[in-house]
Structure 1
Amino acid sequence: MSSKTLWMVRAGEAGWRFEEFERQGLVSIGWHEMGDLAGLVAREDFMRRVEAAYPEAKPTWYPSAAGQVYRFVREIKAGDGMLTYSPSERSYLVGEVLSAYEYAPKASPEQPNQRKVRWRGRVSRDSLSVATRNSLGSISTLFMVPPEAAAEIERMLSRAPAEPVEAVQAVGAQDQVDDLYKDLQGKAFEFIKDRVSQLDWEDMQELVAGLLRAMGYKTRVSPSGSDRGKDIVASPDGLGFEDPRIVVEVKHRTAAMGSQEIRSFLGGRHDNDKGLYVSTGGFSKDARYEAERARIPVTLMDIDDLVKSVLEHYERMDIDTQRLVPLRKLYWPA
């Protein structure tokens, strides 16, 4: 089976149909509101049927739903490999597709779209590599399993009962988990940067002010229009009388700031001022040199620095600031 296409079809939420799949020798999907799908051929046909069946759904959901139903009806072939999973048992059923698409509303009104399957055996999730486990973690109801993962599952299916994992292998698996965590962190960081980049100028200014408040300062934000080189003033008292007095300029644009912009920002600053220049477009080499030799301390903050600071102080931010960049907490094994 390693050379065959292997599909995953989930057995409903939390695997509630897993035993039924195993006992009846089948896999099935829902979307019962779409009716019999045997007469649909092209993806466009499935898209139109999805739109007609679910008029209240978000338009962004239609392509995904149509694609999954199309694959179940038209792309899966008799002889392909089939996989389904029981989260409670941490076990994958591995089988082979026996039939073409069947519409069976009498057998299951909620999941009438079926295919017959001959189950060949089970593979424990704990026996699989981290890379394969990760590839099987999609939230989609139906998807194609990557060839490398399919080959490993076939090897596990042909093997005797699970062998004990050697210490060296366990260490290697932990390294893979750590690499996966770093990869997720990197992707999350880039998506957060995307979200921050989409803010308008006024919201960007409020985000920076909220960050400073989370760091223990009180802020005054300049109104729209001419600000004489400052957008925010942050200080312990909020009035700028107590040190440190931080003067902030926020530039929300794609172009990098040059040395001239830094010189203009520094002009008129008091000797005891501290400067913070935020530029989502970054800074030129000359701009960084200009900041290094400034007569007052100046910190240049590009979008990477801004997002890192937001993440560091996010839980201390007020609710209005958090609403500008709403984030969800993700728990990961320590």
Structure 2
Amino acid sequence: MTMWMVRAGRGGENMDEFLQKSVVALGWPHVGKLESPNKADLVARLAYSYPDEKEGTHGNWAGTLLRFAYELATGDSVITYDRERRRYLVGTIMSGYEWQPQFVEDKPNVRHVKWTHQVARDVLSTGARNSLGAIQTLFKLSEDVAAELHRLQVPLDAPLPEAPARVSPPSAPAEDEEGDEVSSEAELRAEMLEKADAFVEDAISRLNWEQLQDLVAGILRAMGYRTTVSPKGADRGVDIFASPDGLGLQDPRIFVEVKHRPGSIMGSKELRAFLGGRKPGDKCLYVSTGGFSKDAHYEADRASVPVTLLTLASLRKLLIDHYDALDGETRALVPLKRFYWPAI
């Protein structure tokens, strides 16, 4: 079976458009429509349109565009990663290459897709997750990883399983017959960082709800606040309270809600329930490892009290930024090791 990964932009920024418009799409809009599989001509057009990039980068970009236009085939399987909900969408390519300016923002090279299934990242083997962490915009999956995804997929309207990731030997890396492999030290560094971020998010996702609550409280303490965590089993609408003095006599008074439901986004209804009863001067933090709906973001923007929505990715960033200041108990929840890379 042939299965391709097509990333939905940096950090999955075009994920909603891919799903709603039933497509996968690539960028480089200034190059224009691809008229032939002439790589030398395309490299020249890329060099003219993006003169600040290195020659090797133009070659890699050209290979990616030509593969998208001429090697992907109708009927092939395709996946893309929804980072906020920690799932891979699985679909079937339904059309040939099309040039559709304005269809997906800054991504006019389009293939229509029928999205039918999803796979939770947390149920994949370590080897599959490592293979899928490659930073290329487009690549072909190995047969082993493709088979694993097909075996573990569930329909789009089915709940995602919450099983922890299994430990297994690394599987084969993504195939890359056209020479589009990571070809420079800078790109290799970026891939290592991308994979490291993903595996840190995996470790956070494997925590149970009480551990995640303790992690959030520990990060707030590392940021200089004193915290009070609600007793286990309590349901008071506020999981953590934080303030400079720990008593709420000094501002800011921060009220925190923690929802640990990977694959389940929080909507405006849940956010309104959390914000109910908050007073002027209060600050609110809503943590959701399953992400937030567009309505929830809109509700946060128009709320009468300041509220910050924290996803798994932003929680991971806070953890890394303040890791050195964490207490021992909090570090033990997500043990990390520093590694060094030559300066570029």
TM-score, with length taken from structure 1:
0.48
- Kindly indicate which of the two structures has a greater share of residues assigned to helix: 1
Report the structure number with the largest CA radius of gyration: 1
TM-score, with length taken from structure 2:
0.47
